[in-house]
Structures are given as structure tokens and as C-alpha cells.
Amino acid sequence: MTACQLRYQTIEFDNIDIHLRTLKDRNQFDDPNGKAQALGISSAQWPLFGVIWDSSQILAHEMEHYCIENKKILEVGCGMALSSMLLKKRNANITATDYHPEVEAFLQENIKLNQSGHIPFLRTNWKDTQDNLGCFDLIIGSDLLYEKEHINLLSAFIHRHANPHCEVVIVDPGRGNHAAFSRKMKQLNYSFTPYLPKSAYPLSHAFKGKILHFLHQD
């Protein structure tokens, strides 16, 4: 990561502060061994994992007071894993996943910064049906539906890792694929409730997306 400029920042919540080492901005790139390229991650896509997005902040604020007692939780496409870091501070049973080859190294550094304890991480592709992740009671993620193909891939991935009773919370900034994704989740027997984030979230501008809540009960 020597070719990248980094930034240290603190995200403040009501009772918890999360300290993060991130990329300085979305102009950074460092893939000397071609690991990301081999995974199909272009130079334009490469830095997207390493900055804090509005959607990730909204998800973390949702998780700040979310009922997590006795729940096994999975964060999908975690990027800087802000929600995972916050949930770990709340002593949650949290596992983080992402496809980008640099995410785990940043996660380990941020665990040290926050002295938060180990967070299990798996680099996995949503297409991988043999990832051995297991099943979860709460699955969360933010800004995941970039492409139309993600509708089927993400819904299938979530369903493979959902316990018979499972909640799913996805923050979507309004990219255009959330309606088709919600219909797909309904086909998999998930009830669906969309709602707007609280206006008190400290974002730089108004958030135009929604929080998508799904519930599966067998």
C-alpha cells in the first residue's frame, strides 16, 4: 500500500467513536501484483472499498441501537467495515466479508486502532456456493446493488446464509436496482419494509436512498 495516500478519521456515534485508517480519496490505486485485476476489479473500481460512503454511515447508525442480543451477524461487502467495527464495540457476534483483496489488511489495522478484538473475515465472491460461512440471524450491507447482475447474485448469497428466522438490512442510495432486488427477495419468502433514515444522521448532504428491511420466517 506504499503507493497510496491514507487518511485517519473518527466517526462519532452517541456512545461510541470508531477510528479508521482509510484511503485518502477515490483517486488512489495500488495493485502492483495484479491481484485485483485478476479478480476483475478495474483501476476505477479499485479504491471504492477504501473510503467511507454515506450509505455505510447510515447502516452503522442503524446498527448503533439495533437489537443484536444472541444474534449471529454477517456484514456483506463490508469495505471499511464501519458497521462491523461498531457492532464489535457492542460485543456483537459479527463476521465481515468482501471481495476486494485489500479489505482484510485494512480491517486488521482498524481493529488495532480501536482495540476492539478479533472480527472474523472472509474474502468471498457471491457466486461461491462453497464458502463455508454458515448461516446468520442478521445480514447487513450498504450500497451493494451496483449492477443488474447483483440482484440475483446478492439475493441468492443472502438466502444461502440465512437462518430460518433471519433479518436483512440493506442501505441502498437509490442506484435503481433495489426494486427488482426487493421483488426477488419476496420470491424467496422474505417480507419487505422500506423506510427512510433518520434525518439526524450527520451527513454532508441529504440522503436520497432508503433502508431496506427484509424478514424471513420458516
Rounded Cα distance, 68 and 122, in Å:
21
Confidence of residue 104 (pLDDT cuts 50, 70, 90): very high
Tens digits of per-residue pLDDT, 108-123? 999 999 998 999 999 9
Helix (H) or strand (E) holding 180: helix 178-187
Q: What percent of the chain has pLDDT over 90?
A: 91
Determine if residue 72 is left, alpha or beta; phi over 0 gives left, psi from -120 to 50 gives alpha, anything else beta: beta
Confidence of residue 87 (pLDDT cuts 50, 70, 90): very high
- pTM (2 d.p.): 0.96
DSSP 46: G
